[in-house]
Amino acid sequence: MKNCTKELYLEVFGEEAEQLAFAPGRIEFIGNHTDYNGGLVMGAAVKEGITVAVGRRKDRTISLRTEASKRVDISLDNLQPLQGKDVWINYPVGVTNVLMDAGMDMPVGYNIAVTSTLPSGAGMSSSAAFELSTAYALASIYGYEADKAQFARIGRKAENEFVGMPCGILDQGVSAFGEHNALVRIDCKSESFSNLAMPKGTHFWIFDSNVKHALVDSAYADRHKECHDALSILQNTYPLAKSLTDISEEQLRTCESTLGPLLFRRALHIVGENDRVRLVEQALQINDLRAVGNALYASHESSRVNFDNSIQQLDFLVDALKQQPHVYGARLTGGGFGGAVMAYTNAAFGESLANALSLDYKEEFGIEATVLHTSAGSGATLL
């Protein structure tokens, strides 16, 4: 990928790039929608990701180009989010805007060429990979210093304030802190990041449903708001709670009727997920992979019945994976409303089982489920 990004840059801009950077996509292992609720979450960076090549220009233009899209030129002096077919530029341009606000000096604009090895729309967060790779590359050529946590926050800020997606820190945090064969654990309240070794001989399989809810962004924003509304009501009884994850399941149950059925289910998902992250962490420490797997299935079930962010295609994939002896557990990964299912398996789960499952899926829904066998890889880096 490094070479083809370099070549794309050379072909489009007629000179060598100054700097290349790579940032990975991510798997959300456990902790669904807990990040913007001040909770715990675990993910893994994958080997696949986004590579950018950048170089400074002599004027104040930013010129952007991907393998798949036409070149777009904008002025560094007028950074505005775009709508429509060029909406992809909001990720690098948003990062540029945040870096400038943070004091990065940009006397001239830049060229950027972008390539990806991530399946698009699979819920593996190509957006965070785009933000982080751009942030690393730009910081390098303009001489701005930041650590991994700061880069993760820069990416999130671009996404929240420029792209307009009210996400938490999961995607950017995992893309920054990924390590070979390790999970990234994030305590989103203190924004502290750590790594946990993955048990040997365990594997990740991604089954992309190839379905994307038409209103995925607004559905995400709706859940964000519902969590906020549930917290406001709960704070009347528990004034010290700063986020939903400060409330125990027992406390939550005492407020069921005040919350009403919908907000109660939303809050139950968040509180339950946070407990499951703790449970998975303990189970991983003693190598109890059955307990880990059961928590993954329980997470999916809670998405299905409490958070309403699953869809029948994802439920089908999880149910089918549950029948397989070599699968510890499976669940939807990421925001939901489409996207992918992650299966956590032993080494005996292989290509032929995965393909058979994908065929069953096609028979049921008339579309392919794209299969990806991947493992935990390193975080964002300059190349």
CB of 168 to ligand GLA, least distance (A): 4
Q: For ligand GLA, which is the closer residue by CB, 104 or 343?
A: 343
Helix (H), strand (E), coil (C) string for 104-139: CCCCCCEEEEEEECCCCCCCCCHHHHHHHHHHHHHH
Q: Do 137 and 52 touch, CB atoms closer than 8 A?
A: yes
Q: For ligand GLA, which is the closer residue by CB, 20 or 129?
A: 129
CB of 101 to ligand GLA, least distance (A): 21
CB of 52 to ligand GLA, least distance (A): 20
Q: For ligand GLA, which is the closer residue by CB, 36 or 349?
A: 36
Q: For ligand GLA, which is the closer residue by CB, 48 or 171?
A: 171
What tokens does 91 get? 């990720």
Strands 72-75 and 61-66: antiparallel
Q: Which helix (H) or strand (E) holds 24?
A: strand 19-30
CB of 158 to ligand GLA, least distance (A): 12
User: Distance of CA 3 to CAs 53, 63, 100, 200, Å?
Assistant: 10, 20, 29, 32
Handedness of CA 168, 172, 175, 177 (dihedral sign): negative
CB of 367 to ligand GLA, least distance (A): 22
Q: Which ranges in 143-213 belong to alpha helices (H)? A: 148-157, 170-177
Q: Which residues bind ligand GLA (CB under 6 A)?
A: 28, 32-33, 35-36, 125, 167-168, 170-171, 334-335
Handedness of CA 171, 381, 383, 143 (dihedral sign): positive
Please tell me whether residue 14 adopts helix, strand or coil conformation: coil
Strands 192-197 and 182-187: antiparallel
Residue with tokens 């400060």: 246
Q: For ligand GLA, which is the closer residue by CB, 125 or 358?
A: 125
CB of 312 to ligand GLA, least distance (A): 20
CB of 28 to ligand GLA, least distance (A): 5
Taking residue 362's Cβ as centre, other Cβ atoms within 10 Å add up to 12
Q: Name residue 273's beta-bridge partners.
A: none
In this structure, the dihedral spanned by the alpha carbons of residues 346, 349, 351 and 353, taken in order and rounded to 10 degrees, is: -160
Catalytic residue numbers read 171
Q: For ligand GLA, which is the closer residue by CB, 28 or 226?
A: 28
Q: For ligand GLA, which is the closer residue by CB, 34 or 111?
A: 34
Distance between start and end Cα atoms, the chain = 11
Please tell me whether residue 296 adopts helix, strand or coil conformation: helix
